[in-house]
């Protein structure tokens, strides 16, 4: 171990939502990610990460795999189609068995309650690698990207446009915790869940930031330091994709909308993107787009998360 003076309180814990973190723990994670990215620290441990993914993934799967390899560990693919999970073995049984083989488990699934059941029965740290409700690992990388671009988080304003989905929910919590003002602009029927808005608003009040939920995309982006969007139909909602397009069209991140934000604003997208729907090709490839840095930061942020939860940062 080569991480001097870096204390973490995260060892042995789960990350099911960003609301699990204290603001200081989030700051420590981001600083650890920066140190790891700069090669200042090289924790090493032979640990095994399991990836139990019930939905498709490129970034999360590959960045977690690369991160554990770079920490000296290995990854096991527990895709339900190649394990008994897909044949209906109960979560309570699977979680206890996997805890006897693995050191840490990242789960991508549908219901947050299933993730919570895994965490309840597992003796090892469980990470939310995306559920229908939250996507905390994505937001760790997003905050790292904002920190790198602006050299600060406090007082920035991020505007998310589109569906009030898992990414929007975690952005609200993460931004609130980090002191970033967050505006969510969605069609009326696609607002974020009131319980999440309430939680984020409560966190924001403690960290001198603001959470707003708006309907007007053009008003929302005024003064924004970052515009952020995601697909209009998430995994599991494919049958609604076509009917959503006209409703969401006013929320497209295009050249006109971007011109209404701060002139130094950056554009973020968790990816995968549907060019021509939630974001135009021109904006995605434009000078203000930081989506590739953002995607790279999945690796650094999750390496910091793995190191912290595995106790390598103690
Ligand atoms: N952003 C993200 O989570 O991408 P993947 O679905 O490819 O993992
Ligand atoms: N909201 C998207 C995010 C994908 C990374 C989904 O859940 O499909």
For a mutational test of ligand 2's pocket, the pick from 59, 111, 167, i.e. the residue with the most ligand atoms closer than 8 A to its C-beta, is 167
Q: Is 51 exposed, middle or buried (0-12, 13-18, 19+ CB in 10 A)?
A: buried
pTM summary value: 0.96
What residues act catalytically? 108, 135, 138, 230, 270, 298
Q: Give 8's pLDDT tier (boundaries 50, 70, 90).
A: low
Name the closest ligand to CA 128: 1
Provide the 10 A C-beta neighbour count for residue 214: 15
CA distance 135 to 129: 6
- Closest atom of ligand 2 to CA, residue 138: 5
Tell me the CA–centroid distance for residue 217 and ligand 1, in Å.
25
Sheet of strand 104-108: strand arrangement: 74-77, 48-53, 104-108, 126-128
Nearest CA to ligand 1 atom 4: 59
- Determine which residue's CA is closest to atom 2 belonging to ligand 2: 234
At a CB cut-off of 8 Å and minimum separation 6, what does 81 contact? none
State pLDDT tens for residues 175-195.
Answer: 999 999 999 999 999 999 999
State phi, psi for 269 to the nearest 5 degrees.
-155, 130
- Cβ of 166 closer than 6 Å to ligand 2, yes or no, is yes
Ligand 1, closest atom to CA 56? Answer: 6
pLDDT, tens digit, 9 for 90 and up, residues 118-157? 999 999 999 999 999 999 999 999 999 999 999 999 999 9
Spatial separation of the C-alpha atoms in residues 1 and 313, rounded to whole Å: 8
In this structure, the number of other CB atoms found within 10 A of the CB of residue 155 comes to 12
């Amino acid at each position: 171990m080569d991480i001097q003076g870096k204390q973490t309180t995260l060892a042995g814990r789960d990350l099911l939502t960003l609301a699990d973190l204290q603001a200081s723990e989030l700051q420590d994670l981001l600083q650890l990610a920066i140190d790891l990215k700069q090669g200042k620290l090289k924790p090493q441990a032979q640990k095994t990460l399991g990836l139990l993914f019930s939905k498709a993934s490129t970034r999360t799967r590959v960045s977690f795999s690369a991160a554990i390899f770079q920490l000296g560990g290995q990854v096991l693919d527990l895709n339900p189609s190649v394990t008994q999970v897909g044949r209906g073995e109960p979560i309570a049984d699977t979680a206890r068995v996997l805890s006897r083989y693995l050191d840490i488990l990242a789960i991508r699934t549908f219901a947050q309650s299933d993730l919570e059941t895994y965490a309840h029965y597992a003796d090892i740290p469980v990470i939310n690698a995306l559920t229908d409700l939250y996507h905390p690992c994505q937001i760790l990388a997003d905050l790292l990207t904002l920190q790198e671009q602006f050299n600060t988080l406090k007082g920035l304003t991020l505007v998310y446009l589109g569906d009030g989905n898992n990414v929007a929910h975690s952005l609200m919590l993460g931004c609130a915790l980090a002191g970033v003002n967050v505006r969510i602009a969605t069609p009326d029927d696609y607002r974020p869940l009131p319980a999440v808005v309430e939680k984020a608003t409560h966190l924001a009040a403690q960290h001198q930031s603001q959470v707003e939920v708006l309907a007007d995309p053009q008003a929302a982006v005024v003064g924004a330091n970052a515009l952020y969007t995601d697909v209009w139909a998430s995994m599991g909602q494919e049958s609604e994709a076509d009917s959503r397009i006209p409703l969401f069209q006013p929320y497209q991140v295009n050249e006109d909308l971007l011109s209404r934000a701060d002139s130094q604003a950056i554009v973020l997208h968790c990816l995968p993107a549907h060019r021509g729907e939630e974001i135009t090709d021109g904006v995605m490839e434009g000078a203000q787009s930081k989506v590739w840095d953002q995607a790279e930061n999945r690796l650094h942020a999750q390496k910091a998360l793995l190191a912290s939860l595995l106790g390598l940062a103690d």
